[in-house]
């Protein structure tokens, strides 16, 4: 009886932690949904609103690993709760429609809370995962970004119609406060915090640099982030640019709505696959190979108009499904590779950092290449990225477990014992 209650409590905690991630994703989604409203309410140009949108990602891009080190030093529970309460207050402040300069400063501060949430929440989810359910839990975490945008897409228009961006910002503040209060009431696992001596600024800087260098040099912490760099750039390319090549507007609109939802299904599928016994490494290597094959389909002449666009639509849906599987596989791999919660947090910090870099570079590169060569240029450049990602994945997995890649291709030898990555 006690075990049943504990299991229910554990799953409730995991779900609330997942919602914390959804709140973090909505820090970006709310600006996307209110883009036009903010232009009108603030009286500024589209480029300036874009700058406000991107400000939140700057902290993760620059200080991803440092944020993970801070979370590990202070304690994941304290960092998560403090970040959620701060994020709620920042949303309420933005609902007041301050000056553009103040708004930008608030968005930068939101970036700090965003980074700390996406480092602490999955680390705590991993700690609370019931025995044998870690792959599913991390697959669930991998959906937080897509779900956050989906939720904003459903409720955003109604809130904007009621009270403009003010209502949307306030609603995000209320939701974040509720999640913070629920987690405050939960007995979250708290990893031991190492004692901290008072150190000077120069020594603190050297310490942070050494942590960053060590995180990048250690394959167990750097591999998920490196793979996420390729994934985030290509994933956004698929979502943003592919629908525009559809032969008619109805299909374009369908793809814009359906593709994010399909990617969420793919991310959950990765958790189920690993739960069923397929290693995260195999999911990634096979996923990259399958995505490369699908991208070759976009190089077929006239593919966008074949069958009235039905073949093109099917290819788009299949590609984003596999991309979602890759996303889930990366998050599961992160927990599989990490030796402890500290390494896990550093890996999530690198994912935040390199994922932000991919999100910035990918759309810019694809937009310029598409201007030069259309769909073919997009497919070829994406294919090149996938090939590089596959090589990085194979090399990284080999570094961690030299026999892993061979076992993936040929199958394990009789009575062979090796790590299940």
Q: Note the pLDDT tens digit of each residue in 40-68.
A: 888 888 778 877 877 887 877 777 777 77
Residue 416 has pLDDT above 50, yes or no: no
The most distant pair of C-alpha atoms in the chain lies apart, rounded to whole Å, by 69
- Say how far apart CA 346 and CA 421 lie, in whole Å: 18
Out of 45-59, 128-142, 361-375, least confident range: 45-59
> pTM for this structure?
0.77
Q: In this prediction, what percent of the chain has a pLDDT beyond 90?
A: 31
- Say how far apart CA 104 and CA 53 lie, in whole Å: 9
Question: Length of the chain in residues, anyone?
Answer: 421
Angle between helix 144-184 and helix 76-95 axes, rounded to 10 deg? 110
CA torsion 347→384→325→81, rounded to 10°? 30
User: Which residues, 6+ apart, have CB-to-CB distance to 318 below 8 Å?
Assistant: 294
pLDDT score recorded for residue 204? 57
pLDDT score recorded for residue 380? 94
Residue 153 has pLDDT above 50, yes or no: yes
Mean pLDDT across 79-91 = 95
pLDDT score recorded for residue 187? 78
Residue 114 has pLDDT above 70, yes or no: yes
Residue 408 has pLDDT above 70, yes or no: no
Tokens of 185: 């009431």
pLDDT score recorded for residue 121? 92
Nearest in space to 367 (alpha carbons), one of 237, 228, 230? 237
- Say how far apart CA 331 and CA 336 lie, in whole Å: 9
What pLDDT band is residue 405 in, cutting at 50, 70 and 90?
low
Residue 374, helix vs strand vs coil: helix
């Amino acid at each position: 009886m006690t075990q049943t209650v504990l299991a229910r409590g554990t799953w409730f905690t995991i779900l609330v932690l997942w919602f914390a991630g959804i709140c973090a994703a909505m820090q970006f989604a709310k600006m996307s949904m209110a883009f036009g409203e903010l232009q009108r309410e603030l009286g500024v140009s589209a480029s300036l609103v874009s700058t406000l949108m991107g400000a939140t990602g700057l902290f993760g891009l620059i200080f991803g690993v440092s944020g993970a080190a801070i979370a590990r030093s202070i304690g994941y529970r304290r960092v998560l709760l403090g970040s959620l309460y701060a994020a709620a207050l920042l949303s309420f402040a933005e609902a007041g429609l301050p000056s553009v300069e103040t708004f930008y400063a608030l968005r930068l501060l939101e970036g700090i809370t965003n980074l700390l949430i996406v480092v602490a929440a999955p680390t705590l989810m991993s700690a609370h995962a019931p025995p044998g359910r870690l792959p599913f839990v991390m697959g669930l975490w991998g959906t937080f970004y897509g779900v956050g945008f989906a939720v904003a897409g459903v409720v955003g228009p109604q809130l904007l119609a009621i009270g403009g961006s003010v209502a949307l910002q306030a609603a995000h503040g209320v939701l974040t406060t509720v999640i913070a209060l629920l987690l405050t009431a939960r007995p979250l696992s708290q990893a031991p915090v190492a004692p901290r001596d008072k150190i000077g600024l120069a020594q603190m800087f050297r310490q942070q640099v050494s942590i960053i260098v060590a995180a990048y040099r250690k394959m167990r912490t750097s591999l998920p982030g490196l793979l996420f760099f390729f994934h985030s750039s290509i994933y956004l390319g698929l979502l943003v640019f592919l629908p525009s090549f559809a032969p008619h507007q109805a299909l374009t609109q369908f793809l814009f709505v359906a593709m994010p939802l399909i990617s969420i299904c793919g991310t959950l599928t990765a958790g189920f696959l690993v739960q069923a016994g397929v290693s995260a490494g195999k999911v990634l290597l096979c996923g990259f190979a399958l995505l490369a094959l699908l991208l070759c389909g976009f190089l077929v002449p006239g593919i966008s108009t074949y069958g009235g666009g039905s073949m093109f639509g099917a290819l788009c849906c299949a590609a984003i499904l596999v991309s979602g599987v890759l996303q889930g596989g990366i998050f599961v791999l992160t927990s599989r590779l990490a030796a402890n919660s500290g390494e896990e947090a550093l890996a999530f910090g690198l994912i935040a950092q390199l994922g932000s870099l991919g999100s910035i570079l990918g759309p810019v590169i694809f937009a310029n290449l598409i201007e030069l060569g259309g769909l073919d240029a997009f497919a070829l450049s994406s294919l090149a990225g996938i090939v590089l990602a596959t090589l990085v994945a194979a090399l990284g997995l080999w570094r961690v477990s030299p026999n892993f890649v061979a076992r993936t291709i040929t199958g394990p030898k009789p009575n062979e014992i090796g790590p299940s990555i």
